[in-house]
Amino acid sequence: MSNNAHDGADAGAGSQSARGFKVGVFGLLLPVVVIVGLIYSVVSHTAPAGAVNATSMPGAVAQRIAKVGTLAVADNSTRVQHTGEEVFKRTCTACHSTGALGSPKFGDTAAWAPRIATGFEALLHSALKGKNNMTPQGGGEYDDNEIARAVVYMANAGGAKFAEPKAPAAAASAPVAAK
Protein backbone atom coordinates (compact mmCIF):
# COMPACT_ATOMS: atom_id res chain seq x y z
CA MET A 1 0.00 0.00 0.00
CA SER A 2 2.80 2.27 0.65
CA ASN A 3 3.62 2.00 -3.02
CA ASN A 4 0.15 3.14 -4.00
CA ALA A 5 0.25 6.07 -1.59
CA HIS A 6 3.55 7.12 -3.04
CA ASP A 7 2.24 6.88 -6.56
CA GLY A 8 -0.79 8.99 -5.62
CA ALA A 9 1.42 11.73 -4.22
CA ASP A 10 3.51 11.84 -7.40
CA ALA A 11 0.44 11.87 -9.58
CA GLY A 12 -0.98 14.81 -7.61
CA ALA A 13 2.26 16.79 -7.88
CA GLY A 14 2.53 16.07 -11.60
CA SER A 15 -1.01 17.03 -12.21
CA GLN A 16 -0.56 20.30 -10.29
CA SER A 17 2.49 21.26 -12.33
CA ALA A 18 0.61 20.41 -15.52
CA ARG A 19 -2.28 22.52 -14.30
CA GLY A 20 0.10 25.38 -13.45
CA PHE A 21 1.66 25.13 -16.91
CA LYS A 22 -1.76 25.24 -18.56
CA VAL A 23 -2.80 28.29 -16.51
CA GLY A 24 0.48 30.03 -17.37
CA VAL A 25 0.10 29.37 -21.10
CA PHE A 26 -3.54 30.42 -21.01
CA GLY A 27 -2.57 33.55 -19.06
CA LEU A 28 -0.08 34.51 -21.76
CA LEU A 29 -2.19 33.46 -24.71
CA LEU A 30 -5.37 35.25 -23.67
CA PRO A 31 -3.90 38.80 -23.84
CA VAL A 32 -2.30 38.03 -27.20
CA VAL A 33 -5.63 36.82 -28.62
CA VAL A 34 -7.41 39.90 -27.23
CA ILE A 35 -4.82 42.27 -28.72
CA VAL A 36 -4.96 40.57 -32.13
CA GLY A 37 -8.76 40.77 -32.01
CA LEU A 38 -8.65 44.49 -31.22
CA ILE A 39 -6.19 45.15 -34.03
CA TYR A 40 -8.37 43.24 -36.47
CA SER A 41 -11.41 45.17 -35.29
CA VAL A 42 -9.72 48.55 -35.83
CA VAL A 43 -8.28 47.60 -39.22
CA SER A 44 -11.56 46.20 -40.49
CA HIS A 45 -13.38 49.47 -39.62
CA THR A 46 -10.97 51.63 -41.63
CA ALA A 47 -11.64 49.89 -44.94
CA PRO A 48 -13.97 51.69 -47.39
CA ALA A 49 -17.58 50.52 -47.25
CA GLY A 50 -18.17 47.46 -49.40
CA ALA A 51 -14.47 46.93 -50.12
CA VAL A 52 -13.20 43.39 -49.81
CA ASN A 53 -9.57 44.31 -50.30
CA ALA A 54 -8.99 48.04 -49.95
CA THR A 55 -5.39 47.85 -51.17
CA SER A 56 -6.36 46.49 -54.58
CA MET A 57 -8.88 49.20 -55.38
CA PRO A 58 -7.43 51.86 -57.72
CA GLY A 59 -9.41 54.61 -55.98
CA ALA A 60 -8.05 53.63 -52.59
CA VAL A 61 -4.49 53.61 -53.90
CA ALA A 62 -4.96 57.01 -55.53
CA GLN A 63 -6.40 58.39 -52.30
CA ARG A 64 -3.45 57.11 -50.25
CA ILE A 65 -0.84 58.65 -52.54
CA ALA A 66 -2.68 61.93 -53.21
CA LYS A 67 -0.86 65.21 -52.55
CA VAL A 68 -1.36 66.65 -49.10
CA GLY A 69 -1.27 70.27 -50.22
CA THR A 70 -0.57 72.44 -53.21
CA LEU A 71 1.44 75.57 -53.81
CA ALA A 72 -0.15 78.37 -55.76
CA VAL A 73 1.93 81.26 -57.03
CA ALA A 74 -0.18 84.40 -57.13
CA ASP A 75 0.17 87.12 -59.71
CA ASN A 76 0.66 90.24 -57.60
CA SER A 77 0.96 92.59 -60.58
CA THR A 78 -2.77 93.36 -60.45
CA ARG A 79 -2.98 93.39 -56.65
CA VAL A 80 -4.29 96.59 -55.09
CA GLN A 81 -1.85 98.22 -52.67
CA HIS A 82 -3.27 98.85 -49.20
CA THR A 83 -2.86 102.23 -47.54
CA GLY A 84 -0.87 102.65 -44.36
CA GLU A 85 -4.08 103.23 -42.42
CA GLU A 86 -5.59 99.97 -43.72
CA VAL A 87 -2.52 97.96 -42.79
CA PHE A 88 -2.42 99.62 -39.37
CA LYS A 89 -6.09 98.83 -38.70
CA ARG A 90 -5.73 95.20 -39.83
CA THR A 91 -2.39 94.31 -38.29
CA CYS A 92 -0.71 96.93 -36.13
CA THR A 93 -3.63 98.22 -34.07
CA ALA A 94 -3.68 95.21 -31.73
CA CYS A 95 -0.46 96.34 -30.05
CA HIS A 96 0.02 99.97 -31.07
CA SER A 97 -3.44 101.12 -29.98
CA THR A 98 -2.99 99.71 -26.47
CA GLY A 99 0.78 99.92 -25.97
CA ALA A 100 0.94 96.16 -25.48
CA LEU A 101 4.36 94.66 -24.70
CA GLY A 102 6.02 98.08 -24.63
CA SER A 103 5.03 99.16 -28.12
CA PRO A 104 4.63 102.91 -28.67
CA LYS A 105 0.97 103.89 -28.72
CA PHE A 106 -0.47 105.34 -31.88
CA GLY A 107 -0.32 109.16 -31.68
CA ASP A 108 1.88 109.25 -28.54
CA THR A 109 4.49 111.83 -29.57
CA ALA A 110 6.67 111.27 -26.48
CA ALA A 111 6.92 107.54 -27.17
CA TRP A 112 7.51 107.98 -30.89
CA ALA A 113 10.08 110.85 -30.70
CA PRO A 114 13.17 108.68 -30.00
CA ARG A 115 12.08 106.21 -32.66
CA ILE A 116 11.47 108.93 -35.24
CA ALA A 117 14.92 110.33 -34.49
CA THR A 118 16.47 107.08 -35.78
CA GLY A 119 14.95 107.78 -39.20
CA PHE A 120 12.48 106.12 -41.53
CA GLU A 121 14.87 103.39 -42.72
CA ALA A 122 15.57 102.21 -39.15
CA LEU A 123 11.83 102.14 -38.36
CA LEU A 124 11.09 100.22 -41.54
CA HIS A 125 13.88 97.74 -40.81
CA SER A 126 12.45 97.15 -37.30
CA ALA A 127 8.98 96.59 -38.75
CA LEU A 128 10.16 94.18 -41.46
CA LYS A 129 12.63 92.18 -39.35
CA GLY A 130 10.99 92.55 -35.93
CA LYS A 131 12.34 94.17 -32.80
CA ASN A 132 12.02 93.27 -29.11
CA ASN A 133 8.52 91.78 -28.73
CA MET A 134 7.33 92.75 -32.21
CA THR A 135 7.28 89.91 -34.70
CA PRO A 136 8.66 90.46 -38.22
CA GLN A 137 6.05 91.82 -40.60
CA GLY A 138 8.06 91.30 -43.79
CA GLY A 139 7.07 88.35 -45.96
CA GLY A 140 3.59 88.15 -44.50
CA GLU A 141 0.22 89.21 -45.78
CA TYR A 142 1.47 92.62 -46.92
CA ASP A 143 4.40 93.47 -49.15
CA ASP A 144 7.27 95.63 -47.95
CA ASN A 145 5.82 98.80 -49.52
CA GLU A 146 2.56 98.35 -47.62
CA ILE A 147 4.47 97.83 -44.37
CA ALA A 148 6.44 101.01 -45.16
CA ARG A 149 3.15 102.88 -45.61
CA ALA A 150 1.95 101.66 -42.22
CA VAL A 151 5.24 102.78 -40.62
CA VAL A 152 4.84 106.24 -42.16
CA TYR A 153 1.21 106.39 -41.03
CA MET A 154 2.08 105.56 -37.41
CA ALA A 155 5.23 107.70 -37.27
CA ASN A 156 3.47 110.72 -38.79
CA ALA A 157 0.70 110.36 -36.20
CA GLY A 158 3.48 110.47 -33.59
CA GLY A 159 4.98 113.69 -34.95
CA ALA A 160 7.13 112.65 -37.94
CA LYS A 161 6.96 114.27 -41.34
CA PHE A 162 7.85 111.26 -43.50
CA ALA A 163 6.64 111.14 -47.11
CA GLU A 164 4.50 108.14 -48.02
CA PRO A 165 6.41 105.60 -50.11
CA LYS A 166 5.48 105.39 -53.77
CA ALA A 167 4.24 102.24 -55.45
CA PRO A 168 6.94 99.66 -56.27
CA ALA A 169 8.91 100.29 -59.46
CA ALA A 170 7.81 97.01 -61.10
CA ALA A 171 4.12 97.79 -60.64
CA ALA A 172 4.57 101.40 -61.72
CA SER A 173 6.52 100.47 -64.86
CA ALA A 174 4.20 97.63 -65.91
CA PRO A 175 1.53 99.85 -67.47
CA VAL A 176 4.25 101.86 -69.28
CA ALA A 177 5.71 98.66 -70.78
CA ALA A 178 2.26 97.69 -72.05
CA LYS A 179 2.00 100.93 -74.05
| Residues facing residue 134 across a β-bridge | 131
Q: Please name which of 103, 108, 105 lies closest in space to residue 135, comparing C-alpha atoms.
A: 103
DSSP conformation class of 50: T
pTM above 0.85, yes or no: no
At the topology level, CATH places domain 76-178 in: Cytochrome Bc1 Complex; Chain D, domain 2 (1.10.760)
Helix (H) or strand (E) holding 79: none
**pLDDT tens track, the chain, 179 positions:** 445 555 555 555 567 788 888 888 888 888 899 999 888 888 776 655 555 555 556 777 777 787 887 777 777 667 788 888 888 888 888 888 888 888 888 888 888 888 889 988 988 888 888 888 888 887 778 888 888 898 899 888 888 888 888 877 654 444 444 43
Which residue ranges make up each domain of the chain? 2-64, 76-178
- Assign 18 to helix, strand or coil: helix
CA pair distance 44, 159, nearest whole angstrom: 70
